[in-house]
Amino acid sequence: MPGGVTFHIIRSTADLNAAIQPWTALWRDDPHASPFQSPEWLLSWWHHFGPDDLRAVAIVRDGVWLGFLPFYLFRDLYTRERQLLLLGASGADYLDGLFAPACTASQIREALSMLLREPGWDVFYASQLPAHSRLFHAIRMMPEGRFRQFEGESYSRMRAASIAELPQKIRRNATHYRNRAQRSGTLELRTTDSSDWAEAFGALRRLSTECWLERAETGVLADARTLGWHCEALPLLQQSGMLSLSSLRLNDQIIGVLYSLVDPPWRPARTQYFYLTAVSTQHRKLQPAALLLAQAIERAAGEGVEIIDMLHGYEEFKRLWHLESVSTRGFAMEYSPDAIGMSNAQKAA
C-alpha cells in the first residue's frame, strides 16, 4: 500500500486479545479517545456479549496502529438482519473508532471500504458518534447515496464546579440536606481504591435492585452478562486510572453509589462520565441522589476534571442542573453491490 500502510481485519476474540498492546498505544495517542473506546472497557464487553464474529479493521504502518474501526457482525433474532455494529453498541454511551493524529481521512475511508466489501452483512450501523468523531466525518465524505444519516441520542453536560458554584436550587438543596444528614451522624463521600471496589459495586447492585423492585422491574445489573462484564472491567479501569466509584456513607452505611468513568490524569480537559447511580430507598428524606451528585461534582472539580457528562436519558432531575445538551449522529446503509462500489467481476464472483 502507498506509504507502507496496510489494513488488517481482526476476525476472532483470540486475535483481539492479542492486540491489547497496539490498541492501548493507539488509545493513548488519540486525543479524542474516551474510556468508552479503551480496551479495558470494550474488550471486557466483548468477552461477555461478543458472538465471536469480529470485523474490526486495524490501519497499520510499520507495525504501529494508526487507526482502529472496531466493528462486529450481530445477528438480530427478531428481524434476522445481519448488522455491522461498533463494539459496545449495547452498553457504551459514546461509540467511535480510534485514530492517531497521523492517520489520514483517506486511510479511514479505505478501511471503511474494505470493511464494507466483506460478505455476510445486511445493514451497516454506526451510531452514537460524537461531533468530533473522525469516523463520523470519514463516513460523511464517502460517495453520496451510500449512507443515510440520522440523529443519535443527546447527552447532558456541565462544567465541574464546587457546590458553591452550582445552580441556586441545587446548591440550596445540597446544603440543606447535607446539614440535615450531618445532624444524624457522619456523612462521607468515599472513592474506592483497588482494595474495596467490590464492596462499593456490591452496594450499587443491591441499591439498584431495590429501586427497580419498587417499580416491579429488573435493573440493568440483574442481567448475568452485564454483571460479568462490569466485574471484569472494574479492576482494569481502576488500574488504568479511568474508574471513579464513589459511595456516599452515613455513619459508614452506604446510602448511595456513583459509578463513573473518567479520563486519566494525563489527559487534557478531562471529562468524568456519570454512568450508573443508585441510592437507598430508605433514606429518601435526605435526598441522597442530590447529595451524591453534588459532592461528586465538587470532588471531580478539585481533582482537575473540567466536564461532567451525565450521558443520555431525559430523567427529570437533570432539568434542575442547567445542563447543556450535546447531540450525537449516526449512519446506516443497506448492503448492495452497487452501494459498496463492487466491480462487475466482484459481483459475478
Distance CA 301, CA 298 (A): 5
Tell me: the pLDDT tens digits for 253-262?
A: 999 999 999 9
C-alpha cell belonging to residue 299: 470532588
**Is the CB of residue 131 less than 8 Å from the CB of residue 24?**
no
Count Cβ atoms below 10 Å from residue 16 Cβ, excluding itself. 23
The predicted-structure confidence for 2-50, as pLDDT tens digits, reads as follows: 568 999 999 999 999 999 999 999 999 999 999 999 999 999 999 999 9
Tell the residue number behind the cell numbers 478539585, with chain if given.
302
Count of other CB atoms within 10 angstroms of residue 187: 21
Strand partners, 307: 159, 271
Distance, in Å, from the CA atom of 349 to the CA atom of 345, rounded to the nearest integer, reads 6
Distance CA 82, CA 72 (A): 10
Q: Do domains 2-152+328-348 and 156-326 have the same CATH topology?
A: yes
- pLDDT of amino acid 340: 59
**Domain 2-152+328-348: which topology?**
Aminopeptidase (3.40.630)
- CA separation for the pair 104, 46 (Å, rounded): 28
CA gap 138, 108 in Å, rounded:
6
Given this model, what pLDDT does residue 348 score? 40
Assigned architecture for domain 156-326: 3-Layer(aba) Sandwich (3.40)
Q: Which amino acid is at 15?
A: D
pTM of the model: 0.91
Domain edges within the chain? 2-152+328-348, 156-326
Closest CA to 118 of 330, 346, 348: 346
Taking the C-alpha atoms of residue 9 and residue 119, their distance in angstroms, rounded to an integer, is: 13
CB 141 within 8 A of CB 107: no
pLDDT tens-digit readout, 278-316: 999 999 899 999 999 999 999 999 999 999 999 876 566
Query: How far is Cα 156 from Cα 271, in angstroms, rounded to an integer?
Result: 12
The pLDDT, as a whole number, for residue 316 is 60
Q: In this structure, are residues 247 and 207 in contact, taking their beta carbons and an 8 Å threshold?
A: no
Q: Say how far residue 252 (Cα) sits from the centre of its chain.
A: 31
CB 198 within 8 A of CB 243: no
Q: Distance (Å, rounded) from C-alpha 134 to C-alpha 151? A: 17
Q: What is the distance, to the nearest Å, from the Cα of residue 161 to the centroid of all Cα atoms in its chain?
A: 23
Enumerate residue ranges in the chain where pLDDT < 70.
1-3, 144-145, 216, 313-318, 338-349
Edge-to-edge order in the sheet of strand 155-159: 187-191, 243-250, 253-262, 271-279, 307-312, 155-159, 324-326
Q: What is the pLDDT of residue 338?
A: 65
